[in-house]
Amino acid sequence: MKPIETTQKRLAFFTIFMVIVFSIILVRLWFLQVIEGETYAKIAEENRIRLVAIPALRGVIYDRNKNILVDNKASLAVSFTPGKKRGDIEVINRLSQILGMSVSEIEAKINENKSDPLAPKIIKSNLDEKTVAFIKEHQIDLPGVNIETESVRDYPNGITAAQILGYLGEISESELKEREYSSYVLGDIIGKTGIEKQYESFLAGEKGGQQLEVDASGSPIRILSNKDPVPGHSVMLTIDKSIQQAAEQALIDAINVSHKQKYPKAQAGAAVVLDVRNGEVIALASYPTYDPTYFSGGRISFAKWQSLNSKSSNYPLRNRATMSSYPPGSTFKPIVGLGALAEGITTPTKGYLCTGRWYGLGQKWAKNCWKKGGHGKLNFNRGVIVSCDTVFYEIAYRVQKKGGEKLQLWARNFGLGSETGVDLPFEVSGRVPDKAWKKEWNKNNPRNQAWVPGDTVNMAIGQGDLLVTPLQLTNAYAAIANGGTLFKPKIAKNVLSFEGQVSYQFKPEEIKKLPLNSATLKVMQDDLEKVTKEGTATNAFVDFPIPVAGKTGTAQVKGKDDFAWFVGYAPANKPEYAVLVMVEQGGHGASVAAPAVRQIIGTIYNVDIAKLKAPSFVDFSR
């Protein structure tokens, strides 16, 4: 073949190839400009416009007397806007040194909001002036780093009511899937616990926003549109700040008394005050507690979070009044007694003999009364007053022979074994054990599945597998005090508009009327009043000017020291408030918990406790 022909063929092939390539390019350009032109124009416009959310001012939380419990304040925070990857690493390393945070902590903050990876991320809130000044002075070395002003929660009363109020945090991906958070996005701050979570829909308000025109680098040029945020509603609680603080202090004092009485493991407890007339929660204390300012910006350092969730700190985030359950010991006996009276199993004057040791189940399963020498001959009424175990062993044995799980029935009548419905998240239900529960609990241990008489006998003195929350038990005693109405405990009283007007009022809610007549209730009310005058709580209430009715309890827990309980109400002759104190591994209810209840009631009725005779010895009664 001649060279000229070869060259011509090559040129022809190249020409055809170029025609095809340019045709493809032209067709692609036509497709992008004509067919997809509108779509890409929209994308370009969206890249030019940035939506910036403006958080709403969160509602204030008040106590029942309009004292502020949680407010808002302006705070300085440092934010970081991601840029070039290599430059980011250098900036993060510098921020780590300036803020005292690890690199991994900062990176975690940056990566939290995946919905808008280039949006500014708050790295740390509540900056001190020295840190702010340093960052501003070295701004040129910290590209993407800015000082922001944000609204954070303020706690004028320090740690008061921390577990009731709850804390804020950034919404998680799992929470975003829940219907109540359908309008939220990653990075939003929400209530995580307590009232902050329970009434998030009222407190949060409605976010505003701006449409900003930005340049190629993402810097704002001008505001295209603006929508103002709508502030959240405020919530007024039933809590009385002064009584709440008194309950918290009484709990600490009770723990210190336990230590003096040689119970060094006493490190935790709970206290409750309820209005027996309507179920309003006046105080709800839990110890140990925590400093809510750790969460004031909705963000907490990793080190503090680990500390608050460690066994060594005894889990201060847990509200022990509603989120923990315990064996109630002898404080359960009045519920057993009322059920036994109502079922005709006993009478107020029925006689019993207590020798200190009970053999009703046979010699092999003999059981002790707390008083080793025994109480001798006594009737039912006296059995309640001095908390005689033998009396309640006998009652339980008769209940067992009669059948029908009557103890369980009466425990549930008083609201035990189910949530009270209090308006706080994460409430536990406690446990009323029965045949079905025991069989399921021991499904892998067939030899222990059967319910035996000893289970009923143990349950009758508040031991065995029975578990109650402090709030449940206080609510049960409130029903005894008020004549038989079991209320749903309430912590929120009113919702207030931004202008301070009541926009919604929470009304008392009855759970049920107890199936008890007034005469039966009067028998127990008289016995409980005598507990503080001539029974197991006499020493705690000596010289106390307000008549108090109640019951001591000292609950045994395997592998631990005894738990100290007292629950009662005042004034005994015209009940207004039910009060409970429980100290984990605190020893004896009569000499640890009962004086703490006296201290709280003294605050309610302005009694000068310092002028009264103080309990002077360890009381071993139960």
390 in Cβ contact with 372 (< 8 Å): no
Place of tokens 């073949």: 1
Predicted pLDDT at 46: 46
474 in Cβ contact with 496 (< 8 Å): no
Q: How many CA atoms are closer than 13 Å to the CA of 288, on its beta-carbon side?
A: 14
DSSP 255-297: HHHHHHTT-TT--EEEEEEEETTT-BEEEEEEES---GGGGTT
Domain boundary assignment for the chain: 72-82+93-148, 241-611
Using alpha carbons, select from 91, 114, 113, 118 the residue that is nearest to residue 103.
Answer: 91
Q: How many other CB atoms are there within 10 angstroms of residue 304's CB atom?
A: 13
| Token couple for 535 | 């029974």
What distance, in Å, lies between the first and last C-alpha atoms of the chain? 119
Predicted pLDDT at 254: 97
The pLDDT tens digits for 66-99 are: 999 999 998 888 888 776 554 578 888 888 888 8
Q: Is 149 helix (H, G, I), strand (E, B) or coil?
A: strand
228 in Cβ contact with 208 (< 8 Å): yes
Low-confidence ranges of the chain (pLDDT < 70): 1-14, 17, 19, 21-23, 26-48, 50-52, 83-87, 112-119, 212, 214-220, 616
Q: How many other CB atoms are there within 10 angstroms of residue 213's CB atom?
A: 13
DSSP state of 172: P
Report how many helices (DSSP H) and strands (DSSP E) the chain contains, helices first: 20, 23
Predicted pLDDT at 29: 62
> Domain 241-611 falls in which CATH fold?
Beta-lactamase (3.40.710)
* Residue 371 CA: distances (Å) to CA of 261, 385, 386, 504, 524: 19, 13, 10, 53, 22
Read off the amino acid at residue 15.
Answer: T
Q: Is 362 exposed, middle or buried (0-12, 13-18, 19+ CB in 10 A)?
A: exposed
Q: What φ, ψ does residue 559 adopt, rounded to 5°?
A: 80, 5
CA distance 212 to 46: 10
Q: Is 543 exposed, middle or buried (0-12, 13-18, 19+ CB in 10 A)?
A: exposed
If phi > 0 it is left, if psi is from -120 to 50 it is alpha, else beta; for residue 577 that is beta
Place of tokens 């029942």: 64
Which uninterrupted H or E stretch holds 248? Answer: helix 241-260
Which uninterrupted H or E stretch holds 510? Answer: strand 510-513
Using alpha carbons, select from 548, 538, 543, 540 the residue that is nearest to residue 612.
Answer: 543
Q: Is 145 helix (H, G, I), strand (E, B) or coil?
A: strand
Q: Is 569 exposed, middle or buried (0-12, 13-18, 19+ CB in 10 A)?
A: buried
* Residue 444 CA: distances (Å) to CA of 377, 431, 438, 440, 454: 44, 20, 11, 9, 21
* Residue 382 CA: distances (Å) to CA of 299, 343, 385, 531: 56, 19, 5, 9
The pLDDT tens digits for 217-255 are: 555 677 777 888 899 999 999 999 999 999 999 999 999
The pLDDT tens digits for 329-359 are: 999 999 999 999 999 999 999 999 999 999 9
Q: What φ, ψ does residue 570 adopt, rounded to 5°?
A: -155, 155
72 in Cβ contact with 124 (< 8 Å): no
Over the Cα atoms of the chain, what is R_g?
Answer: 33
231 in Cβ contact with 492 (< 8 Å): no
Predicted pLDDT at 2: 56
Place of tokens 């007034």: 518
Predicted pLDDT at 11: 67
Read off the amino acid at residue 272.
Answer: V
